[in-house]
Amino acid sequence: MKKLSFLMIVFVLLLGMVSVTVAQDGMMTEIGPGEGQVDIVAWPGYIERGETDANFDWVTSFEAETGCAVNVKTAATSDEMVALMNEGLFDLVTASGDASLRLIYGGRVQAINPDLIPSWSTVDERLQSAPWHTVDVDGDGTVEHYGTPYQWGPNVLMYNTEVFPEAPTSWSVVFEEQTLPDGESNVGRVQAYDGPIHIADAAQYLMYHNPDLGITDPYSLDRDQFNAALDLLRQQRNLVARYWHDAFVQINDFKTEGIVASGSWPFQVNLLKAEGQPIASTVPVEGATGWADTTMMHVNAPHPNCAYMWLEHSLSPKVQGDLAAWFGSVPAVPAACTGNELLTDEGCATNGFEDFEKIRFWRTPTAECGDDRGAVCVPYYEWVTSYIAVIGGR
């Protein structure tokens, strides 16, 4: 997956910090004939048409029913998603919480009309008005919904079961130099996520192991807390063989490059296990960050009617359940948790349906800490420049 240049990332972030008025005067009030296609920016594995596994296909039926051809551009990071949506060529994006508010306040996405989405009422109540997609942008006292919830889940610790006969109990295996259960060092055998939001994983680790820092939210870090997280990441750099941002490259690294532990997504875990690889995952004692993704529509979507048709299709229990089985995620529609042959009735519990309150979901850090400290926290654009420096050895 092609990485963004430093200047592009900084441009994207600065744009995302500016509050602007949405270009369209109002949300759509009716759906017209489809335009023949819909173009979607999505995480790997989120939009499947059976090409990898014939059992997982929620595109073909949609195309047949609507006449809207689905075109997908996969993105490896939230920053890449924001950059792609700034191009204005796409209709929809499956944005995580560290991108959604930047897209909203940057004027890149439009408020959606739930009345045009019959299945809106079936969305998990914990997600319907989640703060990462429900915002009062114009300040009139009424919040608007900027998308439909899609899936959610944790960032897990993926590990090689031949190296770890028992699940690691701590994220220390990727943060602290140590001898692993097979008698070999972890230096050069672990990975870390190639995205500034990984700073939150370091902060969460410190929240558990260094309570004197006073971290209560890994996304709201004052200068001292932020610097402590950076110091931990500089330490981690001495261990990391690769900073991964492409899920399929990480899969290959676990199979052929001797990588034995890394933060990951259930998607990679599921694919490796399906291939018979000695792979498992866990959420260690420190807890996990995670993602709750929202399908958002570009403010000037070229194919808005097909886009609305996809929003409705994406909430069907069949699509939600099949996707959760494929990705290892949790459906945004609870009805998908029963009666799905691929997910099974135990799938939602296995994937963490009851762990919602335990996950610290990705969100965009701002200067406002959200507590009595005021505007002393480190904003996201500094997360970007600082993480680039860490990866570069500074």
Q: What's the 3-state SS for 345-379?
A: CCHHHHHCHHHHHHEEECCCCCCCCCCCCCCCECC
Q: What's the pLDDT at 23?
A: 36
For residue range 34-54, list pLDDT tens digits in order: 999 999 999 999 999 999 999
Phi, psi of 287 (to 5 degrees): 95, -165
pLDDT in tens, 13-30: 444 333 333 334 478 999
- Does residue 285 lie in a domain region? no
Q: Give yes or no for residue 254 having a pLDDT over 80.
A: yes
Indicate the number of domains in the chain.
2
**Does a structural domain hold residue 280?**
no
Residues 253-276 have a mean pLDDT of 95
Q: How many CB atoms lie under 10 A from the CB of residue 170? A: 16
Long-range Cβ contacts of 210-218 (<8 Å, 24+ apart) = 216/371, 217/360, 217/369, 217/370, 217/371, 218/289, 218/360
Whether residue 239 lies inside any domain: the answer is: yes
Do 302 and 184 lie in a common domain? no
Q: Which residue has the higher pLDDT, 133 or 22?
A: 133
pTM of the predicted structure, to 2 decimals: 0.86
Which two structure tokens, joined as six digits, stand for 155? 């960032």
Structure-token match 């599921």, residue found: 270
Q: Are residues 167 and 25 in the same domain?
A: no
Shared-domain flag, residues 117 and 191:
no
CB within 8 A of 365, min separation 6: which ones?
200, 219, 220, 221, 377, 378, 379, 380, 383
Residues 258 and 341 both lie in one domain: no
Q: Which two tokens stand for residue 230?
A: 């950076």
| Residue 145 sits in the same domain as residue 170 | no
Q: Is residue 1 part of a domain?
A: no
Shared domain for 349 and 377, answered yes or no, is no
Say yes or no: 32 and 175 in one domain: no
Residue 251 counted as domain residue = yes
pLDDT tens digit sequence for 333-358: 999 999 999 999 999 999 999 999 88
Q: 303: pLDDT confidence band, cut at 50, 70 and 90?
A: very high
pLDDT at 19: 32
∠ CA 205-211-213, nearest 5°, is: 90
Decide if pLDDT at 8 tops 70.
no
**Do 147 and 168 share a domain, yes or no?**
no
Residue 278 falls inside a structural domain: no
pLDDT of residue 21: 30
**Amino acid occupying residue 222:** D
User: Does 148 fall in a domain?
Assistant: yes
**Nearest one of 247, 225, 231, 258 to 176, comparing CA atoms:** 231
Task: Say what the pLDDT of residue 138 is.
Answer: 84
pLDDT tens readout for residues 139-158: 889 999 999 999 999 999 99
Provide mean pLDDT across the span 212-239: 98
The dihedrals phi and psi of 230, each to the nearest 5 degrees, come to: -65, -40
From 172, 168, 144, select the one nearest 158 (Cα to Cα): 168
350: its two tokens: 């296995």
Query: Above 90 in pLDDT, residue 373?
Result: yes
Note whether 99 and 137 are same-domain residues: yes
- Local confidence band at 159 (pLDDT 50, 70, 90 cut-offs): very high
Q: Are residues 77 and 226 in the same domain?
A: no
Domain that holds residue 127: 6-153+291-357
pLDDT band at 90 (very low <50, low <70, confident <90, very high): very high
Do 38 and 69 sit in the same domain of this protein?
Answer: yes
Q: Is 115 found in the same domain as 185? A: no
> What's the angle, vertex CA 349, arms to CA 346 and CA 355, rounded to 5?
175
- Per-residue pLDDT, 139: 87
Q: How confident is the model at residue 189 (pLDDT cuts 50, 70, 90)?
A: very high
* CATH for 228: 3.40.190.10
Residue 106 clears pLDDT 90, i.e. is over it: yes
